[in-house]
Structure 1
Amino acid sequence: MIQRILAAALLPLATGAVLAAGEGEPNEGGASRVLYPGEDRLANVRQLTFGGENAEAYFSSDGDELIFQSTRGDRQCDAIYRMDADGSNVRQVSSGEGATTCSFIAPDDKAIIYASTHLGGPECPPKPDMSQGYVWPLYASYDIFRADPDGSNRVRLTDTPGYDAEGVYSPQGDKIVFTSVRSGDLELYLMNPDGTGVEQLTDVPGYDGGAFFSRDGEWIVWRASRPEGEALADYKALLAEGLVRPSKLEIFIMNLEDREPIQLTDNGAANFGPYWHPDGEHVIFVSNMDDPKGRDFDLYLIDVETRELERVTHFPGFDGFPMFSYDGSKLVFASNRNNAVRGETNVFIADWVW
């Protein structure tokens, strides 16, 4: 969401962050600008979508396809699409009813999952009231669904009251990690691919979400808030209204054997969208840590042992939702760069340079 989002997905939690945080300057004069000085980790950058709000693009295990969410045309909220990794063969795989977010392709490419509000009605749910500041909606009608690769034969996997979303498969395909409010707080859970065997992973007050597995399936990485005092009271009051304020999020990791959270970042910024590099030694994530105004989001690489940090992108706007291909050779991300119109968010792919 934010996420999954974070943030987006993150129309609930992430795409909202994209548009509000980094509108970027529209591209003028038709000159293409997809790479910026200092982005030495990226090569052969290609823009895959052109116009609308496109985010949370995630690779199939063979790297040949991407699944993503997009608000385009006359739609007022996200639908789920698939496309080839070169941007061709775009097709919608959700029904077009309700809002959708946080899609993912099973490792064997025999299924997809995504969250949808369609059981709550075919219309797009209402936008949140921003009179309380910048907040993300946690639509209670979100549930997680599995479908065939083309979107047919949709099956509901979650059926508890309240928000269920931000689901992704493990690389082995044996588990799905997701976020749910079923305990009264936003926590991480594991379940089997058929929705059975649900296990709670986190239990600290605050938002836990946007989790992804390491390549070996032994670890997860996610974003979390840990509010205290007045901030905790504000968090609980907003949660009761189906809202969350994403201004302070840190990155955590957890080994699924001992299940002890380990905090990677501690900068007080809005950190989200983490993803493991296949080497298991690095995590890429999104942060506004270098912008005092909090509007410029860039990608950062962190060594999970040394905590050594490296800034990856330098576009003065929004870069987010990174994912490495399973072999680590490619990086896909969403960005406001090279906009034709202010506020557009598009999907980009690049070769990763070590």
Structure 2
Amino acid sequence: MRKRAFFLAALFGPAIALVFSIGAGAASESTARDEAELGRIEQAIRASIGWAKNKDLELLYHTIANDPDFLEVHPDGGVVKGFEEFKKAEGIWMSPNFKAVRYEIRDLRIKLSRSGDVAWFFCVLDDINEWKGQPANWENTRWTGVLEKRDGRWVTVQQHFSFAEDGDAPQAEGPAYPVLFYSGRNDNKDVYILRPGEREPRNLTNHPAQDLCPAASPGGDRILFLSDRGGNMDIYSMAVDGSDVRRLTATPEIEEHPEYTPDGKRIIFVRDFEKRTEIWIMNADGSEARRLTNNEARDERPFMSPDGSKILFMSNRDGNYEIYTMDPGGGDQTRITRTPEWEIFPAWSPDGKQIAYSRKFREDGRMKGMIRVMNADGTGDRAITEIDTRDENAMWSPDGRFIVFQSVRDGNFEVYRIGADGSRPVRLTDHPAWDGWGCYLPSGNSRN
């Protein structure tokens, strides 16, 4: 598990270089005051890390600007905006699975403003930690930030973490959100998590049953998945560390494609009746399930819009798979694509203005597919991956800047990431077994 610099232990690093500018002719008394201020700034910087040794949240929050203008940029481009969003990771920070081991700060440099109430800093940071007894480190991390003196104490108002260029770290330029997927490695299908900065994913389910199709809650604290561990393919949920597994459905039919609604209070999913599939909705605890579609076709892969006003889904009701929308209650079912190919696996962008999906077709005796993006009304459709491969199951990053998908472009299905504009494709998994059905875990736990 990769966690952010705030999970670091409280050991002090080596010698520190403090750099500040003093105007010509400044008195020694002024110099002494500046040196004392720099010492207090250094204490605030260290406290924003050292709190993790004893999990002292009060100490952490004493060093962070408690306002909506707080800004934090992660190594992979993810952004935390505001103190309230920053606090969403408390559940992981305080988890017994997390242990801060040590940290080291090198080459700390602090610049104090002439007014004496603003400071800038730079350092190189090693972040050594454990998650469930396994290493979870950030090493050689560049850390820069801005502090302001408020009510007599120094607080961080902005900070930026970045990695040195490393060709072996596949997520170094992507968003700082963990990626969930399922894989057939180890001769069994399990749900895995790949955290930014880590090269190997971790098995979250680790069960002899078939565990498939992970989907993250909006707050990043729960993961839905499918499993046949109860004798039939049903919907389960678990905590982000794989604990607290709960069975949510128990029907004779097969359940498929679960997704949380944007408020996290309900789950939309597919129930398979063999010759047809229908879209259902239930409470997040599995209660009060009700059907939204009712026909002889296959209605699949539902996804609710961020504002909760529409549900995307794919259906072959008109001869081949196309993309449709409907109201949250199942009314006003409207077709928005019309091509001879299959349009499958649609997903709303975080702002609800765009839809990513896969267009699939057969050519030269084999299946091909590309990731495409269109406006919410079906206009402005364009391809963002090449046509001569098979790319499927696009899912947006929470900040809308990236898309994760599965592809056979390198020989077998692996998980890839690409910019929302089609730029910077990166392979995230590398295993002979099937890896796919990727999605991002939102920012509530992206610091881990």
Same structural fold, with TM-score higher than 0.5 when normalized by the shorter chain: yes
CA distance 1:253–1:208, shift in 2 (3 Å)? same
- CA shift, 1:258, in A, is 5.5
The structure 2 residue matched to 1:319, chosen from 435, 438, 443, is 435
Q: Which amino acid aligns with 2:373?
A: I
Which of 82, 93, 112 pairs up with 2:248? 93
Is the contact made by 1:267 and 1:289 (CA closer than 8 Å) also made in structure 2? no
Assess if the C-alpha contact under 8 Å between 1:277 and 1:328 holds in 2.
no
Match of 1:181 in 2: 316
1:206 alignment partner in structure 2: 341
Larger Rg, first or second structure (1 or 2): 2
Aligned partner (choices 386, 391, 401) of residue 271 of structure 1? 391
**1:197-253 deviations in whole A, cap 9, x for unaligned?**
22211110122111111111111111121446x86xxxxxxxxxxxxx8x3221111
Q: Are 1:205 and 1:227, in contact at CA under 8 Å, matched by a contact in 2?
A: no
CA distance in 1, matches of 2:379, 2:278: 25
Report the counterpart of residue 211 of structure 2 in structure 1: 54
CA displacement at 1:46 relative to structure 2: 3.5
The verdict on how the C-alpha distance between 1:287 and 1:262 changes in structure 2, with shifts beyond 3 A counting, is same
Q: Verify: 1:111 aligned to 2:111, yes or no.
A: no
Assess if the C-alpha contact under 8 Å between 1:145 and 1:158 holds in 2: yes
Structure 1 moving runs of 4+ over 3 Å: 22-27, 39-46
Matching residue's letter, 1:298: E
The one-letter code sitting in structure 2 at the alignment partner of 1:319 is D
Measure the CA separation in 1 of the matches of 2:268 and 2:402. 26
The answer (yes or no) to whether the contact 1:69–1:80 under 8 Å persists in 2 is yes
Give the SS at the match of 1:283. strand
User: Structure 1 regions of 5+ residues with no counterpart?
Assistant: 1-17, 28-33, 121-138, 232-244, 331-349
Q: How does 1:41-190 map to 2 (within 5 A)?
A: 41-42=197-198, 45-51=201-207, 52-75=209-232, 78-117=233-272, 120=273, 139-190=274-325
What is the identity, as a one-letter code, of the residue corresponding to 1:114? F
SS in 1 for 2:436: strand
Percent same amino acid at aligned positions?
29
State yes or no: 1:260 paired with 2:380.
yes
After superposition, the Cα gap between the structure-2 partners of 1:183 and 1:282, relative to the gap in structure 1 and judged at 3 Å, is: same
Give me the whole-angstrom Cα distance separating, in 2, the residues matched to 1:285 and 1:67: 18
Could you tell me the TM-score, scaled by structure 2's length? 0.54
Deviation for aligned residue 1:156: 0.7
| Shift, 1:304, TM fit | 3.1
Offset at residue 104 of structure 1 (A) = 0.9
Kept in 1: contact 2:221–2:445 (CA 8 A): no
Distance 1:193 1:43, change over 3 A: farther
Cα distance per residue 1:73-110 (max 9 Å; x no partner): 533xx211111222122122123311110011112222
Structure scoring higher RCO (CA < 8 A, sep ≥ 6) equals: 1
Higher strand share: 2
**How many positions carry a matched residue from both structures?**
263
Residues in 2 aligned to 1:148 and 1:255: alpha-carbon distance in whole angstroms: 30
TM-score where L is the length of structure 1: 0.67
Please tell me the residue identity of whatever aligns with 1:327. S
What is the match of residue 12 of structure 1?
Answer: none
Note the alpha carbon deviations across 1:236-291, whole angstroms, 9 max, x for none: xxxxxxxxx8x322111111145232111224323112111233232111111011
Match of 2:80 in 1: none
Instruction: Render the CA deviation track for 1:148-170: whole Å, top value 9, x for unaligned.
Output: 22212111100122111110112
Give the match's secondary structure for 1:89. coil
The letter for the 1-side match of 2:307 is Q
Residue 374 of structure 2 aligns to a residue whose secondary structure is: strand
Tell me the distance in 2 between the aligned counterparts of 1:187 and 1:328. Answer: 34
Q: Distance in 2 between matches of 1:306 and 1:148?
A: 36
- Residue 226 and residue 65 in structure 1: after superposition, are their counterparts in 2 closer, same or farther (change >3 A)? same
Secondary structure of the residue that 2:351 maps to in structure 1?
A: coil
What is the CA distance between 1:181 and its match in structure 2? Answer: 1.3
- How much does 1:40 deviate? 6.6
Give the aligned residue type for 1:68: F
Q: Which of 410, 414, 418 in structure 2 is aligned with 1:298?
A: 414
Using a 3 Å threshold, how does the CA distance of structure 1 residues 328 and 216 change in structure 2: closer, same or farther? farther
